[in-house]
């Protein structure tokens, strides 16, 4: 227990005893649900850095106690009343006597079921205290009161009412003293199965007593949508929505920020943020800041090193100058401060431009979100890029789940009370018809219109697609469409594809595809055409192979031309049920000419992987990836759970190495781990991590010893 000290160690067990006695007292009555959690974690980290100026060493020790308590009771005064009590107590001691952090968060709520009403009343407090070198920092406190009412009468639409009031301050009210109140009401009604009506209104007040700033925001949104399928051949859908926000403030030179609502969220793991499309991830913009969206900013045991790309599709150019990145759980502020962020913008979700780089973000430890401010962007696509936290950062977690992305735009307020408002209308309609059955011919058209105070934006799309089976072995698809947009932008899209399956060797398939786009925007024409071919085959049982390749040619009206040629081949072997091997090679050639940058770039990547499970509780895996002239990575994983011990102890070892010849650098990460299930309700995790980073400028080595004892009661 180096660096923690006997007094702190005894205090930990004293706190545990108090917690258990408190839990037993609370659960002495009649309880329907009970859950208690005790966690002890200890991290000892040391880093040695060697440069031309000399050698520096840093050490840190973090001992964390964490207690969770949840309790719910059924009161008998009325049969439909339930009472909930919960709380979180967290103590962090870093470097023995040097730094201590405390977080206390009790909460209570009551549910009342009185049909047609459901009522929830809640209160929670979040209190943070920090002491460093016997110096106490201001204790920050947030008290939140909540009211939720759901009214579901017979025959009329249900109504939801939410009221929340938060008071945030320090004890002396010298650092922070603010009050925020939020009230919202919403309803939804479906008079017909095809017709959906929704309305929501909300008002929020924010009073900052220390900075003499007061603001009020009123928001309203309504949406009508209709969809129906006719005769099993025709489908029609239409929707209309209106959003209005009004704000007023009293302050000098302050800004009111309006939230900008995107059409889609975007996310990908990509180390080349200047090029490449981001797939949709709607969980990033669903409004739920508590549910994970499948994006991890943690180090993942040292394997998460590629850049994380997250962004928005606004359908039309939108003004944005602030982004909030919400994360799950209690992230330490020191870990949060190590993140650096880049902002990129795009018109087509493929070619990206760097807007701002190496940004630091403020972190709200109460609500757990990063806030980034940057020069105002006015593009359809916007993304934020960062690298997962390094395993060498003391206390860095393996998992930091992103839950939500929010975009904002400011409206400047003058020296006296000012008002600002924004209203947007959106209309979307689509129609699809099946014109023929053989060959299958479909026609579709879509129209989108959005109106704000600053602009009117619309798009129209018309397309025809054909699918036909020429024989049992050969089938084909084709599509032709035209997109028109506000400002005279016109784009023609055309695709065609063929698929062939060998009748005697049904595991052998071939495919051929072609797609292109001609786009005219502001008098400029851009043409792009692609041709791709691929084949795959299961040669024998346990042996399969695949190969694919293609070429893409893009031409600009100014005379610039870009060519991309790609090829990929792979072989998968499974000679035994417990042994698997794979080999793949990918090559790409990019050539640019006729523009400001004329260059050729060739990339070759070879990957080999082997997995072997000699026994049910023993697994081995090895992989190597070589990007010629750029990077070579190796990984090895070992897992063993001795059957003699009933599987209660699991051993693991992982090795990852990356060689970067362009920077004369090399990184290594070795992780040894043990998981011991002491009893069904107690688990001990111990890991030892060695992380090295070698470059021309400096060499560094970081050693982390981590253990976590988790007890549920």
Task: Kindly report, residue by residue over 653-684, the tens digit of the pLDDT.
Answer: 989 888 877 667 888 888 898 999 998 889 99
CA pair distance 525, 42, nearest whole angstrom:
61
Provide the mean pLDDT of the chain.
84
Name the token pair of 231. 């005769």
Name the token pair of 182. 């939020």
Mean pLDDT value across residues 126-136: 81
Q: How far apart are the first and last CA of the chain?
A: 25
Lowest mean pLDDT among 333-342, 354-363, 533-542, 623-632: 623-632
Is 278 a residue whose pLDDT tops 70?
Answer: yes
pLDDT given for residue 7 in this prediction: 44
DSSP string for residues in 562-581:
EEEEEEEEEEEEEEETTEEE
Collapsed DSSP state (helix, strand, coil) of residue 335: helix
394 or 502, higher pLDDT: 502
Residue 293 near residue 401, CB atoms below 8 Å:
yes
Single out the residue of 316, 296, 282 nearest to residue 424, CA to CA. 316
Under the banding of pLDDT at 50, 70 and 90, the label for residue 334 is confident
Single out the residue of 389, 390, 378, 297 nearest to residue 345, CA to CA. 378
Is 97 a residue whose pLDDT tops 60?
Answer: no
Name the token pair of 136. 């106490």
Q: CA-CA-CA-CA torsion for 268, 517, 355, 361, nearest 10 degrees? A: -20
489-497 contact pairs (CB < 8 A, 24+): 489/519, 489/520, 489/521, 489/522, 490/519, 490/520, 491/517, 491/518, 491/519, 491/520, 492/517, 492/518, 492/519, 493/463, 493/517
pLDDT given for residue 642 in this prediction: 82
CA pair distance 390, 508, nearest whole angstrom:
44
pLDDT given for residue 72 in this prediction: 60
Name the token pair of 238. 């239409």
560 or 346, higher pLDDT: 346
Stated as kind and residue range, the H or E segment containing 14 is helix 6-26
Under the banding of pLDDT at 50, 70 and 90, the label for residue 74 is low
pLDDT given for residue 301 in this prediction: 65
Is 30 a residue whose pLDDT tops 60?
Answer: no
pLDDT given for residue 596 in this prediction: 62
Mean pLDDT value across residues 615-638: 85
Under the banding of pLDDT at 50, 70 and 90, the label for residue 609 is very high
Is 526 a residue whose pLDDT tops 60?
Answer: yes
CA pair distance 651, 675, nearest whole angstrom:
7
Query: Can you state the percent helix, strand and coil of the chain, rounding each to 5?
Result: 5, 70, 25
pLDDT given for residue 108 in this prediction: 87
For 362-405, the pLDDT digits (tens) are: 998 778 899 999 999 988 899 999 999 887 677 778 889 999 99
CA pair distance 227, 82, nearest whole angstrom:
41
Hunting for tokens 């009325």 — which residue is that? 78
pLDDT given for residue 2 in this prediction: 38
Mean pLDDT value across residues 51-69: 81
Under the banding of pLDDT at 50, 70 and 90, the label for residue 87 is confident
For 215-259, the pLDDT digits (tens) are: 888 999 999 999 999 999 999 999 999 999 888 877 655 567 778
User: Helices (H), strands (E): how many in the chain?
Assistant: 2, 38
CA pair distance 705, 437, nearest whole angstrom:
66
Beta strands in 647-681 (DSSP E): 649-660, 665-679
Q: 193 CB contacts (<8 Å, ≥6 apart)?
A: none
Greatest mean pLDDT among 247-256, 346-355, 464-473, 699-708: 464-473
Mean pLDDT value across residues 194-199: 96
654 or 599, higher pLDDT: 654
Is 5 a residue whose pLDDT tops 50?
Answer: no
CA pair distance 580, 184, nearest whole angstrom:
56
Lowest mean pLDDT among 192-196, 229-233, 626-630, 674-678: 626-630
Mean pLDDT value across residues 432-452: 94
Name the token pair of 264. 């889609």
User: What is the distance of C-alpha 547 from the center of its chain?
Assistant: 33
Is 33 a residue whose pLDDT tops 60?
Answer: no
Is 9 a residue whose pLDDT tops 50?
Answer: no
Is 358 a residue whose pLDDT tops 70?
Answer: yes
Q: 532 CB contacts (<8 Å, ≥6 apart)?
A: 511, 512, 513, 514, 548, 549, 550
Assess whether the previous peptide bond of 439 is cis (omega < 30° from 0).
Answer: yes
pLDDT given for residue 535 in this prediction: 95
CA pair distance 588, 584, nearest whole angstrom:
14
Mean pLDDT value across residues 140-166: 94
Name the token pair of 622. 């090895």
Residue 582 near residue 597, CB atoms below 8 Å:
no
Single out the residue of 195, 281, 239, 186 nearest to residue 450, CA to CA. 239
Q: Which residues of 623-649 are buried (b: 16+ CB within 10 A; e: fewer)?
A: bebbbeeebbbbbbbebebeeeeeeeb
Is 286 a residue whose pLDDT tops 80?
Answer: yes
Q: What percent of the chain has pLDDT over 70?
A: 88
pTM beyond cutoff 0.85: no
């Amino acid at each position: 227990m180096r660096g923690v000290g006997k007094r702190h160690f005894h205090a930990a067990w004293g706190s545990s005893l108090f917690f258990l006695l408190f839990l037993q007292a609370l659960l002495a009555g009649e309880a329907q649900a009970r859950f208690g959690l005790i966690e002890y974690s200890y991290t000892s980290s040391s880093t040695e850095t060697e440069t031309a100026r000399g050698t520096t060493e840093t050490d840190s020790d973090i001992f964390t106690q964490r207690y969770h308590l949840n309790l719910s009771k059924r009161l008998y005064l009325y049969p439909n009343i339930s009472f909930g009590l919960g709380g979180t107590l967290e103590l962090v001691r870093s470097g023995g006597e040097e730094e201590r952090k405390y977080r206390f968060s009790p909460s209570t709520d009551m549910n009342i079921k009185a049909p047609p009403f459901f009522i929830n009343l809640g209160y929670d407090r979040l209190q943070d205290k920090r002491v460093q070198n016997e110096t106490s920092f201001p204790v920050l406190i947030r008290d939140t009161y909540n009211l939720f009412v759901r009214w579901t009468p017979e025959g009329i639409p249900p109504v939801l009412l939410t009221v929340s009031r938060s008071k945030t301050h320090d004890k002396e009210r010298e650092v922070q003293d603010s009050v925020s109140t939020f009230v919202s009401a919403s309803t939804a009604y479906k008079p017909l199965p095809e017709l959906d009506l929704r309305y929501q209104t909300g008002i929020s007040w924010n009073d900052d007593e220390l900075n003499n700033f007061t603001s009020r925001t009123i928001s309203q949104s309504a949406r009508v949508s209709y969809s129906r399928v006719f005769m099993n051949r025709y489908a029609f859908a239409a929707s209309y929505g209106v959003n209005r926000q009004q704000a007023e403030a009293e302050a000098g030179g302050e800004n009111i920020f309006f939230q900008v609502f995107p059409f889609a969220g975007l996310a990908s793991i990509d180390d080349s943020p200047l090029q490449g499309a981001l797939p949709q991830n709607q969980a990033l913009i669903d409004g739920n800041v508590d549910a994970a969206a499948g994006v991890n900013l943690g180090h993942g045991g040292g394997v998460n090193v590629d850049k994380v790309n997250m962004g928005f599709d606004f359908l039309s150019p939108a003004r944005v100058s602030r982004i909030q990145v919400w994360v799950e759980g209690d992230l330490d502020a020191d870990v949060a401060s190590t993140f650096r962020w880049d902002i990129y913008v795009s018109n087509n979700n493929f070619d990206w431009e760097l807007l701002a780089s190496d940004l630091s973000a403020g972190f709200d430890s109460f609500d757990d979100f990063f806030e980034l401010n940057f020069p105002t962007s006015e593009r359809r696509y916007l993304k934020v890029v960062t690298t997962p936290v390094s395993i060498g950062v003391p206390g860095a977690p393996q998992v930091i789940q992103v839950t939500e992305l929010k975009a904002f735009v400011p409206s400047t307020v003058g020296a006296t009370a000012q008002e600002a408002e924004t209203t947007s209308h959106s209309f979307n309609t689509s129609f699809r018809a099946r014109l023929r059955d053989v060959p299958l011919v479909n026609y579709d058209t879509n129209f989108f219109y959005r109106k704000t105070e600053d602009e009117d934006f619309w798009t129209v799309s018309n397309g025809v697609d054909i699918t036909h089976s020429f024989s049992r072995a050969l089938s084909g698809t084709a599509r032709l469409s035209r997109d028109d947009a506000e400002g005279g932008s016109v784009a023609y899209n055309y695709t065609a594809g063929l698929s062939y399956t060998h009748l005697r060797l049904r595991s052998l398939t071939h495919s051929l595809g072609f797609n292109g786009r001609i786009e005219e925007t502001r008098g400029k024409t851009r043409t792009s055409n692609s041709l791709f071919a691929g084949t795959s085959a299961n040669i024998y049982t346990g042996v399969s192979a695949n190969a694919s390749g293609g070429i893409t040619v893009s031409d600009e009206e100014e005379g610039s031309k870009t060519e991309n040629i790609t090829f990929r081949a792979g072989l998968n072997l499974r000679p035994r049920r417990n042994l698997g091997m794979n080999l793949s090679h990918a090559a790409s050639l990019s050539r640019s000419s006729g523009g400001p940058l004329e260059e050729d770039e060739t990339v070759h990547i070879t990957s080999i992987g082997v997995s072997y499970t000699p026994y049910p509780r023993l697994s081995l895996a090895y992989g190597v990836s070589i990007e010629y002239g750029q990077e070579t990575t190796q990984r090895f994983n070992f897992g063993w759970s001795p059957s003699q011990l009933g599987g209660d102890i699991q051993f693991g070892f992982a090795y990852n190495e990356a060689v970067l010849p362009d920077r004369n650098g090399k990184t290594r990460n070795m992780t040894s781990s043990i998981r011991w299930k002491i009893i069904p309700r107690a688990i001990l995790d111990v890991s030892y991590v060695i992380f090295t980073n070698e470059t021309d400028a400096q060499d560094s080595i970081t050693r982390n010893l981590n253990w976590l004892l988790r007890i549920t009661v």
